[in-house]
Amino acid sequence: VQLVESGGGLVQPGESLRLSCAASGSIFGDDAATWYRQGAGEERKLVAVMTPQDTTHYVESVKGRFTVSRDPTKKTLYLQMNNLEPEDAGVYFCHVMYTNTAYWGQGIRVTVSS
């Protein structure tokens, strides 16, 4: 299983980005799928989770601005990020548990700066 993130880049505060995490198989749905962010000099921190039952959970700082979702084929996980703030900057990683194995994407950088 391979996970490949895309959609990152440089945006100004208040703008939006949509991150994608494409899997080599239909793996998003059997277990929780998660987006993490790692800021400069920081540990990797959970940002958003989507459960197999389609419930979602977010860290307080992104509630109302970020939305995690997956496509019906369960091959792609998304993170829609609106009204981005400088504090949202970092490298974003997708993560999923599948057949009792943890899989991580390579990370995609998001820069928020005016």
DSSP characters over 72-110: TTSSEEEEEE-S--GGG-EEEEEEEEETTEEEE---EEE
Q: Return the pLDDT at 84.
A: 98
DSSP character at residue 61: G
Contact between residue 58 and residue 66 where contact means Cβ atoms under 8 Å apart: yes
Q: Return the pLDDT at 29.
A: 82
Q: Return the pLDDT at 1.
A: 87
Structure-token pair, residue 100? 């009792």
Q: Using the Cα atoms of residue 82, residue 67, residue 2 and residue 44 in order, give the sign of their dihedral.
A: positive
List per-residue pLDDT tens for the chain, 114 residues long: 899 999 999 999 999 999 999 999 888 888 899 999 999 899 999 999 999 999 999 999 999 999 999 998 889 999 999 999 999 999 999 999 988 899 999 999 999 999
CA distance 7 to 109: 9
